[in-house]
Each structure stands twice: as C-alpha cells, then as structure tokens.
Amino acid sequence: MPGQFLAFGPFIFDCRRGTLFRGASPVVIGRRERALLQALLEARGEVVTKSSLMDAAWPKTNVEESNLTVQIAALRRSIGQSATGENWIATIPGVGYRLVHSTPVRQRDVAAVEAPAALDEIEPRPTIAVLPFTNMSSDPEQEYFGDGLAEDLITDLSRIPGFVVIARHSSFAYKGKPVDIRTIAKDLGVRYVIEGSVRRDADRIRISAQIIDAIGNVHLWASRFDRELESVFALQDEIVGRIVRALSGLVPPVQLMARPRATNLEAYDLFVRGRALVNQSVEGNRAGRQLLERSIALDSDFAEAYVWLAMGHLCGRVMWGEVAEPHFALALSAAERAVSLDPDNAGAHAVLGDVLLFHDRPAGVAELATALALNPNHADAWVFLGEARAYEGDAAAGIAHTVKAFSLNPYPPGWYYWYLGYVEYAAGHYEDAMTTLWHPSTHRLGSQRILAASLAQLGRAEEARAEAQQFLAAHPQFSIQSWASAQPFQHEADRQSFIDGYLKAGLPM
C-alpha cells in the first residue's frame, strides 16, 4: 500500500502497524511515542502544535502539558541524534515541535522497504501491571491490606530478570475505576495484567489472582488460595512462584529466592498503612513515619519498613519543606539499617544512594547502580540516578534516566516532575522545565523555586518574581547561599546556572 511507510535519516516508520525500524532492526518505542512520531512525520517537517500532539497521543483525554514533555523526551532518547549531532525533534518555544531532517521525508511503498517482512515476528515484551486487589472483606478498613499485598507482588515481580513491571503508583491509578482491562493495558503500555481479590476474616485469608493477556483478553492463569492468616507471608512467595511459572515461556528460567518479609502481622499492618501515606501530603508523611516507627518497634528486623521510613524522612525534607536535619540523618540511619538487614533490597540501596549524594556523591552513585543491578525496574532509582548525573555535569543523561523512570511509572507521584524539571533546567532546557514544573502535583511545592528560575531565564521576569514570592511565603528561611553550599555539583558552572536563575527571579542571596 503506497504511503504506508515514512522515512527520515536511517529510520523507516510503518504507519499501519506503528513500528519503527532503524535499517532492518526494530526500535522499541512506547505507544504514545509512536503516536507522536507519526504526527510529526505526517507534518512533513512543519511545526506541530502542542495541542495537536496531545490530541494525537491522548485522544479525547485531558492531560497536562508536562506529559507531552515527558513523552517527547522519551522519543528523543529512543531515536538519538543525527550524524551531525542534531536532535531529530526540535522544540519551537511556546508553540510545539517539528521533526528535523537532513533530507526531506520520503514516502515509500512496500516494494521499497526490506524490513516489513519481519514485522509479524515481533512479539511484545513481557510487560506487566499489577492492579490493586479488590477488598472482599466485610470490613472496609481491610482495603489497605489488599493494596499492601498487591504492592508487595509488584516488588517481587520487578526483581525477576526479563520482566518489565509498572510501578505501583501508576497501576494503582485505576483503583476504584470501572476501566476495561484492555484499556488499562493499552494506557500503561503493557501486555499482561494481574488482578485479584482478598478476603480477610478473623484468622483466615482467601486470595484470588489471575493473569490476563490483554491481546485478545485471554485469561492465562487463575488460582485461589485459602490459608490461615498467620501464613500470609509464606503465601506471598507461593503466589509469586505460581505467577512466574505461568509466564515461564516469556523469560529464561530463574531461580526464585524468597525475600525477607515481616514476621509479625501487626507490624505488617502498620507498615502497609504507613507506606501508603508517606508521599501523600505533609500531614500524611508525618503520620506515615509514625506508623512505620511503630511497625519497626514490633519487628526490628523488618527491612522494608526501614526503607519506607528512610523514604518518609527524605520526602519530608525534599518535598514537604521540613528542615534538613534531623531528617537527612534519620533517612541515612534507616536506609543503612535496611541495607544491612536485606542486602538484596533495591529500594534500600536506592534511598541510601540518594541520601549519600549530598555527603559522598561517588558512594551515592555506587548505591544507585547497585539498586538498578538488583532491580532494573526500580523507577525511583532511575529518578535518583538522573539527579546524580546532573550533579556530575551530564544533565542530558539525567533527562534520559528520568524519562526511563516515567516509562516504568507513567502516573508518578509529584516529586518525579520536580526531579525532571530540575534536570531539564540543569541541561538548559528552560522551556521544558517550566512546562514540567507547572504540573499541579508539584507546583507550589519546593520545586517552585526552579520554576521561578526557569521563567527568569526565559525572560518572563514578572511571572518569575510572582512564583518566587509565592515560594518564599511558604519557605521564608530560603537563601541562595545556604542552598548552593549544600548542593554536590561537580562543576561550579552548573551550580552557578541555578544561582543566576534564582537571582534573576528575585530570590534572596
């Protein structure tokens, strides 16, 4: 069919199947990346507005502009740069994007393309989303328990080589919503969806779980487990093993290792309640830390509780504006304890790595590398590593790492947008940083100072000063000098770029 294939540089895009090739080799890109690329290609090098691109990637859906920024960054990372070092996708500030070509876009019909013969042989990767388990108990307060089991299952599966598992914050975005499984799978870019239910009554627990292949809406596996409540932790290992066996044809054989779990049911109850609160609000963060401390008091060897206590102190400082001390010291202590109890816990290494960046940056980077070696699906670790790369002077790599985190966690907590805006600013991408930091989940928090600096660098002085004044009203103790002295930049020029933006925005020295 003439016109089915569009080409630019070394790439060929099959419009009908949505498949991108570099020469004869397929390039793995996400669903929204495909929609954006096709819209840019069909514009024949003309500018495509942001609203048109959002309509192409999110039809009939209202989304924040920062989502477009994230997906464009992901697409840029997937296709790389031209032979001359030029980005294939150019940003037109305030308007949109256009595809840049060394030669005009060429339409090719089937006879001119060698690659499509292999198209039907390409199978989707084993990508998985675990939905929150439905509470079937008579007590609505037990809902948190089912959420905790589903979140633990996400953690367990994400450690298995070969699986790509969507992070909890994104798969839980559908909680309580009547959405079709195939719609969820398409939205998250996954093929396999795991859903289930849990009934906890007195001293008994019943867990039902099933795996659905979203292509064709086929049920691959389903099972029900009835146990004494006290055996729930062993049951978690059993369920993971059954799921892995059901999907055994998708990945090489693996030796499953049971990970350390709680030994006290009350401690586990407190833990899952606390874990759910630490990223919610300043009040939720404080309440969550108290619950986690109570969990640890009941089970002093519960590594995962220490991980989330460390995360709670880190979020309290970074996201909710609490003073650096004692929170950094408490985060460091809890993270070190978690690593000592469970050296294979990627979350423990990730939180420890981010805390260490401010005290011993090389040691922090090493911890983050360990986290990703243990669990390449750990979205938070990718965000932290992006931050670290910016400190090292490689903000372009920082953006790539952060975009990777968004692919694993497409509906992330607000602090992801903060970190993305930070690395975009560090790279000098002030327009992108401004768009990202206006996302409602991070705007008006501590990241507002970077938004103010971005606006100032773009020459939007009045808006910059308004944002800076709002930031100072919430953070009256802020000074540029105090902030700058605590930042572990490897190169002074990178520190100075932030200082310059803060000064232009009217923040106090």
Q: Give the tens place of pLDDT for each residue, 342-387.
A: 999 999 999 999 999 988 999 999 999 999 999 998 999 999 999 9
Asked whether the predicted pLDDT for residue 320 surpasses 80, the reply is no
Please tell me whether residue 321 adopts helix, strand or coil conformation.
Answer: coil
| Burial per residue of 471-503, b for 16 or more beta-carbon CB atoms within 10 angstroms, e otherwise | bbeeeeebebeeebeeebbeeeebbebbbebbe
Share of the chain above pLDDT 70, in %: 89
Asked whether the predicted pLDDT for residue 203 surpasses 60, the reply is yes
- Specify whether the CB–CB gap between 52 and 388 falls below 8 A: no
Asked whether the predicted pLDDT for residue 453 surpasses 90, the reply is yes
With a threshold of 0.85, does the pTM exceed it?
Answer: no
Asked whether the predicted pLDDT for residue 444 surpasses 60, the reply is yes
Asked whether the predicted pLDDT for residue 338 surpasses 90, the reply is yes
Q: Give the tens place of pLDDT for each residue, 215-236.
A: 778 888 999 999 888 888 888 8
Asked whether the predicted pLDDT for residue 474 surpasses 80, the reply is yes
Task: For the domain covering 261-376, report its CATH number.
Answer: 1.25.40.10
The residue assigned the tokens 């930042």 is: 487
Token representation of residue 397:
């790599």
**Rounded to 5 degrees, what angle do the CA atoms 405, 326, 280 make?**
45
Common-topology check for domains 5-121 and 127-246? no
Cis? peptide before 326, omega within 30° of 0: yes
Q: Give the tens place of pLDDT for each residue, 302-311.
A: 999 999 999 9
Average pLDDT, the chain: 84
Asked whether the predicted pLDDT for residue 481 surpasses 90, the reply is yes
Share of the chain above pLDDT 90, in %: 36
Please compute the mean of the pLDDT values over residues 122-150 and round it to a whole number.
79
- Specify whether the CB–CB gap between 37 and 43 falls below 8 A: no
Please state which CATH class domain 127-246 belongs to: alpha beta
Please compute the mean of the pLDDT values over residues 234-243 and round it to a whole number.
86
- The two counts, helices (H) then strands (E), for the chain are 21, 14
* Most confident by average pLDDT, 30-39, 127-136, 495-504: 495-504
- Comparing 40-54, 110-124, 404-418, the range with the smallest average pLDDT is 110-124
- Residue 7: name the closest of 42, 56, 54, 48 by CA: 42
DSSP per-residue letters across 199-246:
EEETTEEEEEEEEEETTTTEEEEEEEEEEEGGGHHHHHHHHHHHHHHH
Please compute the mean of the pLDDT values over residues 416-429 and round it to a whole number.
92
- Comparing 336-345, 405-414, 499-508, the range with the smallest average pLDDT is 405-414
Asked whether the predicted pLDDT for residue 430 surpasses 60, the reply is yes
Please tell me whether residue 198 adopts helix, strand or coil conformation.
Answer: strand
Q: Between 3.40.50.150, 1.10.10.10, 1.10.1240.10, 3.40.50.80, what CATH number should domain 5-121 receive?
A: 1.10.10.10
Q: List, in sequence order, every residue forming a beta bridge with 219; answer none if it has no partner.
A: 212
Asked whether the predicted pLDDT for residue 148 surpasses 80, the reply is yes
Cα separation, 284 vs 256, whole angstroms: 35
pLDDT band at residue 17, thresholds of 50, 70 and 90?
low
- Specify whether the CB–CB gap between 395 and 403 falls below 8 A: no
Token representation of residue 507:
């923040």
- Specify whether the CB–CB gap between 122 and 185 falls below 8 A: no
Instruction: Name 418's Cβ contacts closer than 8 Å, sequence gap at least 6.
Output: 318, 319, 437, 442, 445, 446, 447, 450
pLDDT band at residue 178, thresholds of 50, 70 and 90?
confident
Rg of the chain over all Cα atoms, to the nearest angstrom: 24
Asked whether the predicted pLDDT for residue 457 surpasses 60, the reply is yes
Phi, psi values for residue 113, rounded to 5°: -115, 130
Sign of CA dihedral 465, 443, 311, 327: positive
Please compute the mean of the pLDDT values over residues 88-111 and round it to a whole number.
66
Q: Give the tens place of pLDDT for each residue, 458-473.
A: 999 999 999 999 999 9
E strands along 396-493, which residues?
none
Q: Specify the CATH superfamily of domain 381-509.
A: Tetratricopeptide repeat domain (1.25.40.10)
Cα separation, 440 vs 463, whole angstroms: 17
Q: Domain residues of the chain, as ranges? A: 5-121, 127-246, 261-376, 381-509
Cα separation, 90 vs 269, whole angstroms: 50
Q: Give the tens place of pLDDT for each residue, 243-296.
A: 888 887 776 666 666 678 888 889 999 999 999 888 777 888 899 999 999 999
Cα separation, 146 vs 167, whole angstroms: 16
